[in-house]
Amino acid sequence: MRPLLLALFICLSTNAAVQENIQLSLGMLNASFSENPSSLEDSNSEPASGTSSVIAMDIQYNFIRTMKKNFFASISFPLIGSSGSAIYRLASGIDIFWADGLNGNYNVTKGEDSINYYPKMRYFWGGSIGANYLVYSTQTATKSDILADIGAHAGLIYNFSKKYEFKGKFSFSRGVGVATSTMLMQVFGGVIYYF
């Protein structure tokens, strides 16, 4: 009921603002890859397959925000990786909030009246497209590939103050590159800071 009243107040107000934020998360990127046989230089060699896992940092900025949706850009990069492994990811996508959840903190002002709304718990799902740079090791060499991917994600956000929130997110994507095909899984937990 509260989001409905806030939506009505926003529609009738002259100054409604979603607070800007930046999201910093720490988590795991795991890419299961297999080389495309057509990309091998030596026709006698077998295509390699395996996994490349890293502990990574993810930075996300929402560049368009509506009452129920965020359109975002994000970058993920490795902090700690297994020997010869690295995954870098640039992505853009959408978060869609459901179940009584607006997408963030709102400040609404009309004349001398104002409402500050800080939703406690929100759930979201969405999709993304991205570009990846994958470094992986085979038995004979360390190789790299550039991939395009498409994926889906889901998560939750818990508000614990006016300026900070906790965010948990799980995502899965399928990538295709010049030399490899991948399945990328990401699990991140982090902090949202409102400025």
pLDDT of residue 43: 65
Q: What pLDDT digit, counting tens, does each position of 137-169 carry?
A: 888 888 899 999 999 999 999 999 888 999 999
Q: Which numeric CATH code is attached to 19-103+120-194?
A: 2.40.160.20
| b/e map 9-19, b = 16+ CB within 10 Å | bbeebeebebe
CB 119 within 8 A of CB 163: no
| Long-range contacts of 1-6, Cβ-Cβ distance < 8 Å, separation of 24 or more | 2/117, 3/100, 3/101, 3/102, 3/119, 6/102, 6/106, 6/108, 6/115, 6/117
pLDDT < 70 regions, the chain: 1-18, 39-40, 42-44, 99-102
The residue extents of the domains of the chain are 19-103+120-194
pLDDT of residue 12: 46
Distance of CA 176 to the CA centre of its chain: 19
